[in-house]
Structure 1
Amino acid sequence: MQPFNNRVISGFQAPVRLEPSTEGSLEISGRTPRFGDVSDTYDFDSDKDVRNVNDDFDGDDNDEDDDDDDDDDDDDDDDDDDDNEEDPNGGPENLRSACCGLAVYAKLLTNAFHYKKNPTFIRSSYDTGLAARPFTDPCISSVMPQDSTMSDVFELIAVICYYLLYLAVSIGQSVWWRLTGVQKQLLRTETEEGLDKCVHVLSIVARLRFPKVNHPRPWDFISSHKEFAHHRDLLSEHVTLYCVTSTHAYMVETPVDVDVYSSKTSPFMKRAQFDHAIRVMVVPLRHLYRLTDKLGDPGVPVSWINNSGRCGSTLLVQMLETVPGMRCLSEPDVTTNIALLSRSGQINERQTETLTRACVRYLCRAAPGVSRLAVKVRYTCVTEVDLMQKLFPEFRHVYLYRDLGNVMTSFYTFIHRDLAVRLLERVINGSSLSPVRSRVRSYLSAMIAWADCYDRSELVQVLAQGSFMGYSTAIICSNLAVFKNNLETGKTQGVPTLHYDELIRQPAVVASRLFEHLSIPTSHVEKALTALEKDSQAGDIASNIEHSSADRNGGGQRTSKVRTITAEDIDSMNAALKAMGLPDMTQRLNIPGNLMQEQ
């Protein structure tokens, strides 16, 4: 067998040879890269009026210096072809692309195993910055995101290994559980006779959420059978609702010394649950309904907070957290599960109503020392606000929002730290992997709040012709478009709105008015304002403040994976906003029902 450094892997055009450089990292020889070597940047102060979107960004607790921390990146203009622009050779080119893709991943795995066998090489490579060194191989670049580094490669390998392990464990468990009687008991839990042992308790052995920004799902954990328990065990203070499917609810148990509700643990409840869970508890929905019927509606005042995203809602939750007796649930993402299940047609209207009632009752169940509750849900859930008002008319609601230029540039910065998002973008914007593109488009389209309040056909056309950021804009802002239309037409009432700029401009005045609306004594406002002194999303991928210092090294050079926003990105985002009847990224957004104008 040839030594590793002399092995050759075939790609599109010519053999590629992996050679160690004098610094100990890998260099690629054998052909000229098709892209990735020429920096193609855009001046947002020229060409078009919208180019100054980055400069308009004013910074907040979530987003300080979002766009100033991005430097010039490589831009693959040649890879932004539409689905319809296929190679004249048709089938052979697709086969060629597939073969290249296999070669790429084989190369990545080979590299990883080489590093595994040579710790000295790993250490010297990391000492010289190999982990942050981008690949320039065009074959790798055709599959991986731009400026992919060794850390990206290791992350992707870990993801592949995790899901292969998840598949293997699932298959093995299906056989083993049949032999040991676990499967028989699982079937019994679905019946009335199985009520006493209806909760399947599993010990977590591995975990991974990919993408990191995604909502919780059952396959975030690989777990092994522990026991079957009574449904009253679900009422433990250390058991919380993680996610739901159309048939089951998934709870997680956390250690007694971990408070998943506290922002000191994590700014988001969903993240605290994922990071600290030690066991998963699975229960059929029929038994969850029985349990929550006994619990009944919340017995304490509940504030329900909807938002546009990237608008200070996490900051607001942490202001409310300072109120004595207040328990805050910052994005218990089971609410997102329900919204997406309903949106995709996996559950009908009646099932959505029943599941929503049960989950909210469970989330807001009584607890020692808790006299008030505040629940902040993700931007996706505002389409369900009418249902929430119907089921729980006593809840107090508020909707926080921000100008869409700031919302989208802030989203752009933090989601591009996620490898999965950058992989999806590579598929949508690139010319390779065309067989996969239609599936990715369908996956992204399923998360859009399709509605009759805007021209669907126009939005479909815009998305087909635009870039990945067009889809991102539609996923995020379609919810806002539906809510805004419902307010304007009178379908939705009793949900005051609050612009982020007002909260930052006069925090004491706005906080006092907000506390009055939520029936919270204004004597707590002064202490609540101390939340303004810190980064509300510290410790999470969503924090643009925390990551801003990591986006550049000591010499001021870019180290972040976040590429500079381009003219094409801006055009795609504005086109999607226009199709949904929303103002573009340079205009101010005004939504009816301003809290500060109410008497």
Structure 2
Amino acid sequence: MPIKSFNRLAECMPENRKTVLWVYHTGRCGSTALSQAFNALPNAVAMSEPLCFISLLQSFSDKELSYIYNLEVKKQYRKLFQSIVRVLLKPSLKDADILVIKHPAFDSLSHIDLVAEFFPEFKIIFMYRDAKPQISSLYRAIGNTDMAVALTKVVSRNAVLSNLFPFIKPIDLEYDRCYICEEHIEWLYAREKKRPICELGIFSVGYSETCYHYRQAVQNKLMPIMAFKYELFRNNLQQLAALFDHMELRFTEEQSSLMHKALELDSQEHSDISRALVAKKQVTITPSMIAEANESLEYFGLPKWGESITLPNTVN
């Protein structure tokens, strides 16, 4: 569909009357499980990392990040983002008055200023966990995949193949979390020029950049935003009650029971990163890899590898 036609379609969408929860996250922090828990409710629909946001970023990244610096391209990007969200809000087959949109992790928080401008009524949360378990979990799930990294780069950056396989994205897109800050891009390129960054180091860049931009969003007071830490959130009904309070909704016993049962299940059960499969993977994290991780954590002002972190507005 031509972009102009898509924008016109979005403008025809009915006014949204749902309570919308927008979920930002670092990845490997319980966000998929939360989506699963909301889908267990009869009056809720949760979308987990819609591919349209990935396609949007990749399409405009091909213009060498000009959508940040070129005013006309930036205008196109902003309009298309607004249209995408409006279409996502369209009525669904399930009669729902709660809609949860879990933003893709790799460029999490990149759109928070647009959400604040176009959809100020949305409720926003940020999910995270301590650096060591998050980065280790991601590395265990998709690390040691150098061939896969190379293949996904070829497919996603080829004009023909990317259209044939739009769901394939570069595994190393963790880098792109720096794309909204020119200073961070320069730091990253200068660092890699000295020596290639290992996969664990790439994952640590993504984690650190995401936590950094969350803190910036809180400091800039773009929108009311609460943080939920995995170590505190998992199987904690009081945290769920706090989440519903943030959404300005009543949390009933029936909702509590349904969501608690859903949270006990493996949200990745039928995927390549299910708990059982990931637990079987043998990975080695060397001192030099940890040093690379600490380089990113230190640059962004975060606690070192193995230390605990508590970000602003974390529900305790």
Residue 226 of structure 2 is matched in structure 1 by 496
> In angstroms, what is the RMSD of aligned CA positions?
2.8
The offset of 1:373, in angstroms, is 1.0
Residue 373 of structure 1 is matched in structure 2 by 99
Cα separation, 1, equivalents of 2:276 and 2:189: 36
The offset of 1:498, in angstroms, is 1.1
Residue 110 of structure 2 is matched in structure 1 by 383
Query: Using a 3 Å threshold, how does the CA distance of structure 1 residues 292 and 363 change in structure 2: closer, same or farther?
Result: same
The offset of 1:466, in angstroms, is 4.9
Q: Which is higher, the Rg of structure 1 or of structure 2?
A: 1
Instruction: Name the SS of the counterpart of 1:537 in structure 2.
Output: coil
Select 2:251's aligned residue among 509, 512, 522.
Answer: 522
Select 2:276's aligned residue among 541, 546, 555.
Answer: 546
Residue 310 of structure 1 is matched in structure 2 by 28
- Worse-superposed segment, 362-371 or 403-412: 362-371
Residue deviations 1:408-435 (CA, integer Å, cap 9, x gap): 00110111265644658xxxxxxxxxxx
Pairs within 5 Å for 1:364-513: 364-368=89-93, 369-379=95-105, 380-416=107-143, 418=145, 420-421=147-148, 423=150, 447-450=176-179, 457-464=186-193, 465-469=195-199, 470-487=201-218, 489-504=219-234, 507-513=236-242
Query: Using a 3 Å threshold, how does the CA distance of structure 1 residues 582 and 332 change in structure 2: closer, same or farther?
Result: same
Cα separation, 2, equivalents of 1:592 and 1:317: 23
Residue deviations 1:457-493 (CA, integer Å, cap 9, x gap): 5443333325323233223432332222232x32533
Query: Using a 3 Å threshold, how does the CA distance of structure 1 residues 360 and 444 change in structure 2: closer, same or farther?
Result: closer
Residue deviations 1:173-206 (CA, integer Å, cap 9, x gap): xxxxxxxxxxxxxxxxxxxxxxxxxxxxxxxxxx
Contact 1:317 1:376 in 2 (8 A): yes
Question: Where does structure 2 lack aligned partners over 5 or more consecutive residues?
Answer: 68-72, 152-171
Opposite residue 354 of structure 1, the aligned amino acid is K
Query: Using a 3 Å threshold, how does the CA distance of structure 1 residues 515 and 572 change in structure 2: closer, same or farther?
Result: same
Question: Where does structure 1 lack aligned partners over 5 or more consecutive residues?
Answer: 1-282, 425-442, 552-559
Contact 2:22 2:101 in 1 (8 A): yes
Query: Using a 3 Å threshold, how does the CA distance of structure 1 residues 423 and 457 change in structure 2: closer, same or farther?
Result: closer
Cα separation, 1, equivalents of 2:271 and 2:229: 24
The offset of 1:396, in angstroms, is 1.0
Residue deviations 1:11-51 (CA, integer Å, cap 9, x gap): xxxxxxxxxxxxxxxxxxxxxxxxxxxxxxxxxxxxxxxxx
Residue 574 of structure 1 is matched in structure 2 by 294
Residue 362 of structure 1 is matched in structure 2 by 87
Query: Using a 3 Å threshold, how does the CA distance of structure 1 residues 291 and 444 change in structure 2: closer, same or farther?
Result: closer
Cα separation, 2, equivalents of 1:452 and 1:563: 32
Select 2:16's aligned residue among 298, 313, 324.
Answer: 298
Opposite residue 244 of structure 2, the aligned amino acid is F
The offset of 1:595, in angstroms, is 3.5
Query: Using a 3 Å threshold, how does the CA distance of structure 1 residues 339 and 548 change in structure 2: closer, same or farther?
Result: closer
Over the matched positions of the two proteins, sequence identity in percent amounts to: 22
Contact 2:303 2:309 in 1 (8 A): yes
Residue 162 of structure 2 is matched in structure 1 by none
Residue 288 in 1 paired to residue 2 in 2?
no
Pairs within 5 Å for 1:109-508: 283-342=1-60, 344-345=64-65, 347=67, 348-368=73-93, 369-379=95-105, 380-416=107-143, 418=145, 420-421=147-148, 423=150, 447-450=176-179, 457-464=186-193, 465-469=195-199, 470-487=201-218, 489-504=219-234, 507-508=236-237
Query: Using a 3 Å threshold, how does the CA distance of structure 1 residues 455 and 583 change in structure 2: closer, same or farther?
Result: farther
Residue 593 of structure 1 is matched in structure 2 by 313
Cα separation, 2, equivalents of 1:411 and 1:483: 20
Q: TM-score, normalised by structure 2?
A: 0.80
Cα separation, 1, equivalents of 2:250 and 2:301: 39
Query: Using a 3 Å threshold, how does the CA distance of structure 1 residues 584 and 390 change in structure 2: closer, same or farther?
Result: same
Contact 2:23 2:125 in 1 (8 A): yes
Query: Using a 3 Å threshold, how does the CA distance of structure 1 residues 360 and 457 change in structure 2: closer, same or farther?
Result: closer
- The number of residue pairs the alignment matches comes to 285
Q: TM-score, normalised by structure 1?
A: 0.44
Contact 2:47 2:100 in 1 (8 A): yes
